[in-house]
Amino acid sequence: MRDRAIEKLAEKVAARQVELEAEIERLSQYGKSAKKASASGPVAKPKKNEAKREEKKHEATGATDGTEPVAEAA
């Protein structure tokens, strides 16, 4: 019975792998942007105390829009 369950599970895994490969092929038509998005993974949000620290740093440097200050060209 165990061998039969293992066979069925292997069949399901193989079928799912074929489905996923087909989906990857379909998504590959969107080019590098889709690959980059999936390769980079999720972006971690800063912890609350780190966000407050960054906010204070921005206030001290004069950046109020949430961006890093840009050095002026010489």
35-46: pLDDT as tens digits:
555 555 666 665
Token representation of residue 65: 């829009």
**Rounded distance between C-alpha atoms, residue 10 and residue 33, angstroms:** 33
CB 27 within 8 A of CB 34: yes
Token representation of residue 53: 């620290």
| pLDDT of amino acid 32 | 63
pLDDT in tens, 8-57: 999 999 999 999 999 999 999 987 664 555 555 666 665 666 666 666 66
**Rounded distance between C-alpha atoms, residue 45 and residue 55, angstroms:** 14
**Rounded distance between C-alpha atoms, residue 10 and residue 24, angstroms:** 21
59 vs 3, residue with greater confidence: 3
Token representation of residue 42: 């999720």
